[in-house]
Structure 1
Amino acid sequence: MYHRFDRRQFLHGGAALAAAGLLPARAAHADAARGGADLVIHNARVLVLDKRFRIAQAVSVKNGVVQALGRDREVLRLAGRRTEVIDAGGGTVLPGINDSHLHLGGFGLDFPPFTYEVDTATVEELVEVVRGAAQAATTPDSWIRGQGWNDNRLPRPPRRADLDPVSGNHPVVLTDFSGHAMAVNSVVLRLAGITRDTVPPVGGVIEKDADGEPTGVLRETAQGLVSRLIPPFTDEEISRGIDTAIGILHSLGITSVTEPGIGLDRLAMYEKKAREGALGVRLTALLSAGVEPRLLGETLAAYRPLQDVDPRRLRVAGVKIFADGIPTAAKTAWLHEPYLDGSNGSLVIAGATVREQVANLHELIAIAHAKGFQVGTHATGDATIDAVVAGYVKAMGRRGGDPRHYVIHGDLTPEATLRTMARRGIGVNMNATIKYLLGRTLDPVLGAARTDYQWPYRTALDLGVNVTSASDAPVTFPTWLQGVQSAVLREGRFGGVAGEAERITVREALATYTRTAAWQDHADRWKGTLEVGKAADICVVGGDVLGVDPHELIDLPIDATVLGGEVVYRREASAAPAAYTGAASRWHARGTACLEGGNCCCRVAHS
């Protein structure tokens, strides 16, 4: 499965290198532009990540694009006195990582004092975090935000009865690791007017105790009863958080992200940063569609195309629709066959009946498609995914082209639906890092067979579907090496293998974070591979990504990151943010997928 070179083979070439697809020395001269290179990276395993999976020893960069590839000796001849030269030390060089579903705007805010981590093993430990936050608060009634509690780890969700004794007059809102549920104290319930008689919105759940009183746990759309009350972060805080997030992404080798479900105010902030040269990643944005056609119509009417912004740095690709919940202990994803306890989730689209909800879902898709927008739809349950794909096919029948609509998450996509997606050019954006987080914990919820199948990478790739991988950060920490490891091994954080039949190779997993992610961005002609003439977005890994035992992938360091030919991160020269250092140590220590809290698409889309 893995092709590994020893040092002698790699440096001295010969038949072994030719057989492995190493680019010949003449490629360096035949494709090089005249004049010296701006940057040369050598002594490396350069993975071009094209479909032939070619490998070189060195790569040169000029004017922000890949200038040449080949053997060390030939490419180094392009270096002049002003050329920056990086010796990769035998490590791996590959295209800059493209995290194709990441909430940049929220990621940097998920650190104290903005947000506290509550991913604990016990409710008692969680309560102590809240106690500490209340004691550290500078005003007696300020809001305390937390993120990360996990239904699959805790014996039960935290409740107002747990939080009230330690929170005083502070409103407390603790969102779970996925963003699909929150736990609040009694102060928040009073502020929101939530009582035993409150009717939850469509798709929402207000959990109650044996006496019929709200416990403080709100799921899916019921969170909206509270989220509208939470004081928003200031523009300055959000901007500072974005800058922090970008610095962390650089340290992980990530050069491109897709942010799904943003509002026009957040877009304006990105536009300003892009104009000022302060947006340090390539950002593809999806506008939030809302839950009914009227809301999407209002958003599109107010939207104005970006002006004086490099579309290769910031681009609005389309809209993000939020269709259902998640197939975890929350049991809010809409399934064809119910969960093991007989319950089922539902669509969260507006509508009094399932038929009305599906009709509104299809209308949302049709409106966006008719405007020429790409559509990404959060859909995890198989019933929801089938409804979404049917809507895509219907809309594409009206207007062809190559919209590259895709399913976000696609946890339980049926095989027949995957065939339709492959035939119609519909992609799927999967989450191997969340698979690692969940592992076999869903056996009591979905049953063993569906738990094994969840995120069917192997089936989808074999059927010809364009599959991308993403962290959904801050739901999981955005380390793509963990994602590759999980896609290859299917091993869970709490032990066991969940879906050996859905394992893929390291090479296939790498493509989901680079080449295919560029396809999703409609950018595969200019980024996603290290072919000559394409963007010089580069990630340098300190180790043999192809040859190392997959269990050790997570331990490989990122040595350097290059964006558009500019070195934006060097491990030996960079001091990682303190918040990142702590999060990274937690990731390695216990494999946690939560970074100081976080929020996924639903919370961001509804905020």
Structure 2
Amino acid sequence: MRLLPRCSSVVLLALAALPLQATSLLVNAHVHTMDPERPEATALAWKDDGRLLAVGDTADLQKRYPDATKVDAGGATVIPGLIDAHGHMLGLGMTHIQVDLVGASSKAEILERLKAAAARLPRDAWLVGRGWDQNRWAGKQFPTAADLDAAFPDRPVLLERIDGHASWVNSAAMKHAAKPLDGDWQPDGGRIMRVGKKASGVLVDGAQGLVANAVPPLTHEQTREAYKAAFADAVAAGLTGVHDPGVSLDDFKVLQEMAAAGELPLRLYEMADGNHAALDWLCTQGGHWADAAGRLQMRTVKLYMDGALGSRGAALLADYNDDHGNRGIFVTSPDAYRSAVDKAHRCHVQVATHAIGDRGNRMVLDTYQSVLGEGADSDHRWRVEHAQIVALDDIPRFAQVRIIASMQPTHATSDMPWAEQRLGPERLKGAYAWQRFIHERVPLAFGSDFPVEQVNPMLGIYAAVTRQDLKGQPPGGWLPDQRVSRIQALAGFTRGAAYAAFMENEVGMLRPGLRADFVLLDGDLMTVPQRQIADLKPLSTWVDGKAVYHAEKKNAAQ
């Protein structure tokens, strides 16, 4: 063995004392770090491994790291990478494949879009679309199969509602149902809408699969292409991370392949799709799997408690104001739900449950509290996804059981034209009640639920701050006492979302040691007029210190 000279230990200590050298340096920026210890800066330095080395002033960091490759922000605003705490990646990718029905103001407009799309399909192919919303139409009534049959007597048509909790099908599609839809029976966790005993053509929640399961599934390559399209949409919107609720094991394997090939431009926090194969696999992994690059992980299961408010499937403690006798749907039976939560708990898997109505939220809280028992004080970080309508007495329970409220601000502004019709004024006190949760010190994570809403997180920040639509209505905001500050809104899409994914030591702030995930914006989120928040655009999006998106430079003449 060759012995080191006696001075080697001194040399090694001296080398260790040398400052680490940054390889890249962002300068001339206006940085909102979201780090309470240093809220603002003008420069960021990071290493090849994508970790921030220093956050400070441009002049100082240029002196400290003279050899670093410089990126001149030109005075642009910089914020931590935005994280959508609830967005469906494959669903977003599917919008590039299916017929887009979002924003259609009538059934006639929907038929026009469908006919244009059908002209490009093989004669025997299913016509699949997404995004209809009867609340936008005159009369606001659910559609029927007859509305589609005249235009499509032979081609099966399946159209998913904007919230994903109801499907509108034609007679040709109903012929493919797993069992006859007429009669007086109802499936578990769902509802077949009927006129008398005849199926009308609308299937709610658990009834959707009776027809949807007949649609040919995506091929492996189609799934990859859909994900690629979703990734491009996400990073162009300034997202550096997404919590993706409800992925099947087959689809997760596709993501694993893409991660291994270096094809993930952002961080994906995947949730298993209920008590099925993905959760079984996750249990074999000790409750957590992550790739070496930090771009893909799974440690959570997404469960369903109830349906959605727009399709009157959200489970309420009292009748719907506009549908007496209806208190919504438990998509999962309480016994089956308890069994799934117990299983996840045994496997050390984080639980995230879709709950929209006050009865749905109470059932989730009751179950969480029972399963966790004395472990309710542990760092489990279980979540309620949406938490839209919560009884006032139940909001403090989120803090008592240490539950995270994962909420979507644009749901409030989308639902506000008709939410009072569904609920009445009294129940609105616990509706989309962000400030009530903050007052009780409940951790908030913000997202969009894309493609139910748009992928653009600036729309979510705008909605959280104003509780207004893009026309500035209503004046002062809807239920304005629940508006949040700009810093609180940004925190929901950064620090709060990072915490909800156990990633607060990786992302969510711009602080030395954390990942160099950030976004350059074309305006200052903290100072532009409120309406302009929604119009802010990313100039570039960076993950691990590398640009994954650059906005196209517009021609000066444009």
* Superposition TM-score, scaled by structure 1 size: 0.82
Matched position secondary structure for 2:534:
helix
Matched position secondary structure for 2:202:
strand
Confirm or deny that 1:344 pairs with 2:320. no
1:414 to 391, 399, 411: 391
Confirm or deny that 1:200 pairs with 2:176. no
Q: Where in structure 2 are the equivalents of 1:13-412 lying within 5 Å?
A: 34=19, 36-52=21-37, 54-63=39-48, 64-80=50-66, 83-87=69-73, 89-112=74-97, 114-117=98-101, 119-137=103-121, 139-155=122-138, 156-192=141-177, 193-197=179-183, 199-209=185-195, 212-290=197-275, 309-310=291-292, 312-328=294-310, 330-340=311-321, 341-342=323-324, 343-349=326-332, 357-397=333-373, 399=375, 401-412=378-389
Matched position secondary structure for 1:258:
strand
1:440 aligns with: 417
Q: Where in structure 2 are the equivalents of 1:568-583 lying within 5 Å?
A: 568-572=548-552
Q: CA deviation at 1:454?
A: 1.8
Higher RCO by CA contacts (8 Å cutoff, separation 6 or greater): 1
1:501 aligns with: 481
Deviation sequence 1:531-565 (CA, Å, 0-9, x none): 11101111111111101112110111111111011
Query: Aligned partners of 2:18 and 2:512: how far apart in 1?
Result: 10
Query: Aligned partners of 2:176 and 2:297: how far apart in 1?
Result: 39
Q: CA 1:439–1:506 in structure 2 vs 1: closer, same or farther (change >3 Å)?
A: same
Query: Aligned partners of 1:183 and 1:374: how far apart in 2?
Result: 34
Q: Which amino acid aligns with 2:355?
A: A
Q: CA deviation at 1:135?
A: 2.1
Q: CA deviation at 1:512?
A: 0.5
Q: CA deviation at 1:71?
A: 1.8
Q: CA 1:33–1:72 in structure 2 vs 1: closer, same or farther (change >3 Å)?
A: farther
Q: CA deviation at 1:33?
A: 8.2
Q: 8 Å contact 2:76–2:523 — kept in the other structure? A: yes
Query: Aligned partners of 2:108 and 2:64: how far apart in 1?
Result: 62
Query: Aligned partners of 1:306 and 1:440: how far apart in 2?
Result: 41
Query: Aligned partners of 1:299 and 1:406: how far apart in 2?
Result: 21
Query: Aligned partners of 1:301 and 1:537: how far apart in 2?
Result: 30
Matched position secondary structure for 1:383:
helix
Structure 2: unaligned runs, 5 residues or longer: 1-16
Deviation sequence 1:258-288 (CA, Å, 0-9, x none): 1111111111111111111112211111112
Q: 8 Å contact 1:161–1:185 — kept in the other structure? A: yes
Q: CA deviation at 1:81?
A: 5.1
Q: 8 Å contact 2:354–2:386 — kept in the other structure? A: yes
Q: CA deviation at 1:430?
A: 0.4
Q: 8 Å contact 2:246–2:271 — kept in the other structure? A: yes
Q: CA deviation at 1:115?
A: 3.5
Q: CA 1:376–1:311 in structure 2 vs 1: closer, same or farther (change >3 Å)?
A: farther
Determine what percentage of the aligned residue pairs are the same residue.
28
Query: Aligned partners of 1:345 and 1:305: how far apart in 2?
Result: 32
Deviation sequence 1:431-475 (CA, Å, 0-9, x none): 112222222322211123434642111010111000011111111
Deviation sequence 1:242-263 (CA, Å, 0-9, x none): 1111111111111111111111
Q: 8 Å contact 1:284–1:316 — kept in the other structure? A: yes
Q: 8 Å contact 2:24–2:69 — kept in the other structure? A: yes
Matched position secondary structure for 1:238:
helix
Deviation sequence 1:114-170 (CA, Å, 0-9, x none): 433353101111111122222222x21101111110122123333211111112421
Matched position secondary structure for 1:77:
helix
Matched position secondary structure for 2:241:
strand
* Superposition TM-score, scaled by structure 2 size: 0.89
Query: Aligned partners of 1:33 and 1:60: how far apart in 2?
Result: 16
Q: CA deviation at 1:308?
A: 8.3
Query: Aligned partners of 2:146 and 2:335: how far apart in 1?
Result: 41
Confirm or deny that 1:537 pairs with 2:514. no
Query: Aligned partners of 2:274 and 2:120: how far apart in 1?
Result: 38
Q: 8 Å contact 1:66–1:531 — kept in the other structure? A: yes
Query: Aligned partners of 2:102 and 2:227: how far apart in 1?
Result: 22
1:28 aligns with: none
2:12 aligns with: none
2:530 aligns with: 550
Query: Aligned partners of 2:75 and 2:306: how far apart in 1?
Result: 46
Matched position secondary structure for 1:533:
coil
1:584 aligns with: none
Q: Which amino acid aligns with 1:146?
A: G
Deviation sequence 1:353-375 (CA, Å, 0-9, x none): xxxx3233222212101211100
